[in-house]
Amino acid sequence: MATQDPTHSSTTGTEVPVVVSSETLSVDEIAQILSTELHLGRQQIIQTLALLDDGNTIPFITRYRKEVTGSLEEVQIQSIADRSAALRALYERKLDVRRLIAAQDKLTTELDTALTAAATLQEVEDLYLPYRPKRKTRASVAREKGLAALADIILQQPEIVQNTEAAIEAYAQPFLNAEKGVDTSLEAYSGASDIVAEIVAEDANVRGGVRTVFFRQASVGARVATPEKVAEKDPNGVYQLYYEFNENVTRLVPHRVLALNRAEREEVLRVSVALPYEQVQRDITAHYPVKETSPLAPFLSDALADGYKRLLAPAMEREVRVELTRQAEEHAINIFAANLRNLLLQPPLRGKKVLGIDPGFRTGCKLTVVDETGKYITSDTMYLFKEEEARTLVRTLLTDYGITVIAIGNGTASRETEQLVADLLSKIENENKKIGYMIVNEAGASVYSTSEAARDEFPTLDATKRGTISIARRLQDPLAELVKIDPKAVGVGLYQHDVDQKELAAMLERVVVSCVNFAGVDLNSASSALLKHVSGINTRVANAIVKYREANGPFKKRQELLKVAGLGPATFVQAAGFLKIANGEEPLDNTFIHPESYAAVRALLALLPEGESKHAKPAERIELFRQRLKLQNSLSNLGRIKPQRGTSNTTGSEQAAWQEMAHDLNIGVPTLHDILENLEKPGLDPRDALPAPILRHDVLKMEDLQPGMLLQGTIRNVVDFGAFVDIGVKHDGLVHISELADGYVRDPLTVVAVGQVVQVRVLNVDTQRNRVQLSMRGIKSTTAAS
């Protein structure tokens, strides 16, 4: 049955007002939904939501509340947080819509039931659309003329066996009113048809069906705005691929959506989404059947077509554009986030003094020396056109400060600087001195050099020196240095300027927080820019920590954090485990073990065998523990024993021993596992397990490349169509997605990651366009970055 006009008094159906609920969506209801969506245990979700609602951070929950969450991973906890927020927002909108419709005395039991069943915000908005206050429309004008009842008659499609023309006139006669501007039956039916068109276009069932067809069968087209605009806005033909473009909405890939959007913003193209009425006519007439035997059939048929073409199709076009853009932006942001994570988690180059070089022609190359901890030592300037003087200066700095690593920025004159450095190093190597260099992505260095953080850190240095320090430090500890820069400026994104900047910033901040807490932070050397990303710590507390450190010297133990202004017990609980102190009063402070577990650790150490020496380290005692377990494989003589890591290969008795030990220590089995891992590897930095940066000793030119050559390189960026690899020449080579692996690759991020060291084969070299085509097909040797 056709939906009646909700704004017209002749609406039929149950009109008894429904009481609007003011209750909030319960945790149990959320858990029931998420359990199905995320394929997780309902109790896991309930307990995780309780932790989140209590203000615990995701890094803290992930690492220190495994017993509560059932060892959920960070991404799963984030999904619970995101989806629960979305469900709560949906429920709040339902309440709001109920209230708004009830205020009009039009909330029926059927409508209330439909609102309850709505699973998306779009469904809720579809139901609310007929009741939403509107600006003046053709239908509203017709209603003011009293034609709503005639519209109802058209929708009812009465069947008359008498004279058709007479019946048409008879139905219109009561609605003719010269004072209201309805002088003829044609005018009456025209106005009534406008009302019918609006009713149909706003029907939630119709919109739902048409939306489904639109998202499956519509075509996205593009054409040039005007030849004059193309000549002005796109002289190089950047968007030439899209000048005459047409593609099914289901086949349109994300990067093309963003490119079309950008071209439209730049007034090069006009983009449209089209779907002929004939392809949705059946879906519409299923709700509003046209009876051929009715004299009013032509009016309904025309109104249906008009409602679609004038009202519904443009709305669906907007929805498709919005949804395609949302999906494309989400895809681009996720790629950016994955690249950023891999970049931030590059392994640090520890214990090395570094000479940083910011290349330049006219103003010279800025040189800066930093010590093993990144502390600034000295700086100078060399000029490439004074080659001998430049070589002498570099040699002097290398010799005077015992430098073994050089970081060269990849900006203007980087390859000329690299050539000079490589020539010098070849001579130094003949003197039995091993020194290497690396081209460092300097994206964002200039942003940092003029930032407030840089001025606070180096108030007496100019911006060029600060930027060069940043280049040197990026090699020593990428995470600690790059967190000082806006993530959007670090040079691993694509289309980052085409996406929602608020969503991008939120996602990148989430990645930075995840990386900082994954790697841990040295409490006595971390900058406030790094500290503010630690679980539970904000900018104000981070600055207070630095000020306390400057006034009182290095922290000696974690408990001292409670003396910092503004850092209370709640913040301490969230942050303490991620803040490490090397060479402090408490050895456990240099691990990820949380202070809340220190008592359990000491009880555990009392249970471990002493070993051959009374001064044996915990790692040695744990290893002895495992060896005894292997030999005995029973509890009869050993008492409480921990099995080997990974329960899949342990016997039932070993698992029972592990559980018994955790029970006696009053901790969970996952926490026991984490404690043992940290005791075995005190000061553990997860990044150290990754391959070290490739240091070069000679230079490779584009002209040296030949098809078939095998080279080692580092992934610099991953995009939809492949990956860019630094192979030591001026321009990164491209491994197209079709060349990433022997088999089919749907997503490059499943094969490669930023920072990954890979073996590649040269396919083609275009020296005129500075392009190198590479392949990884048939090559097995790659080293993952994370």
CB 611 within 8 A of CB 621: yes
pLDDT of residue 20: 43
Report residue 650's pLDDT band, with 50, 70 and 90 as the boundaries. low
- The mean pLDDT of 10-29, rounded to a whole number, is 54
pLDDT per position as a tens digit, 191-200: 999 999 999 9
Query: What are the backbone angles phi and psi of residue 762, rounded to the nearest 5°?
Result: -75, 125
pLDDT of residue 161: 63
> 306: phi > 0 → left, psi -120 to 50 → alpha, else beta; which?
alpha
C-alpha–C-alpha distance, residues 337 and 503, integer Å: 11
pLDDT of residue 614: 64
In the chain, % of residues over pLDDT 90: 62
CA 78 to chain CA centroid, nearest Å: 11
pLDDT per position as a tens digit, 391-436: 999 999 999 999 999 999 888 888 889 889 988 988 886 565 688 8
pLDDT per position as a tens digit, 344-359: 998 898 889 999 999 9
Out of 92-101, 195-204, 706-715, pick the least confident: 706-715
CB 654 within 8 A of CB 643: yes
pLDDT per position as a tens digit, 722-741: 999 988 777 889 999 999 99
**Per-residue pLDDT for 465 more than 70?**
yes
Strands (E), 62-151: none
The secondary element (H helix, E strand) that includes residue 449 is: helix 445-449
HSE, side-chain direction, 13 A CA sphere, residue 176: 10
pLDDT of residue 654: 62
C-alpha–C-alpha distance, residues 674 and 600, integer Å: 12
**Per-residue pLDDT for 602 more than 50?**
yes
**Per-residue pLDDT for 494 more than 80?**
no
Structure-model confidence comparison of residues 239 and 757, the more confident one = 239
pLDDT per position as a tens digit, 327-381: 999 999 998 999 899 889 988 988 899 999 999 998 999 999 999 989 999 999 9
Out of 23-27, 97-101, 584-588, 685-689, pick the least confident: 23-27
**Per-residue pLDDT for 607 more than 70?**
yes
pLDDT of residue 684: 80
CB 734 within 8 A of CB 772: yes
pLDDT of residue 139: 95
**Per-residue pLDDT for 633 more than 60?**
no
pLDDT of residue 709: 85
HSE, side-chain direction, 13 A CA sphere, residue 574: 21
CA distances from 183 to 172, 186, 191, 300, 303 (A): 10, 8, 12, 21, 20
Under DSSP, is residue 580 helix (H, G, I), strand (E, B) or coil? strand
CA distances from 647 to 468, 644, 650, 658, 669 (A): 49, 7, 5, 10, 11
HSE, side-chain direction, 13 A CA sphere, residue 594: 19
Neighbours of 102 (CB within 10 A): 16
HSE, side-chain direction, 13 A CA sphere, residue 342: 26
For all residues of the chain together, what is the average pLDDT?
87
Report residue 653's pLDDT band, with 50, 70 and 90 as the boundaries. low
**Per-residue pLDDT for 629 more than 60?**
no
Rounded to two decimals, the pTM is 0.82
Structure-model confidence comparison of residues 279 and 702, the more confident one = 279
Out of 412-421, 589-598, 632-641, 741-750, pick the least confident: 632-641
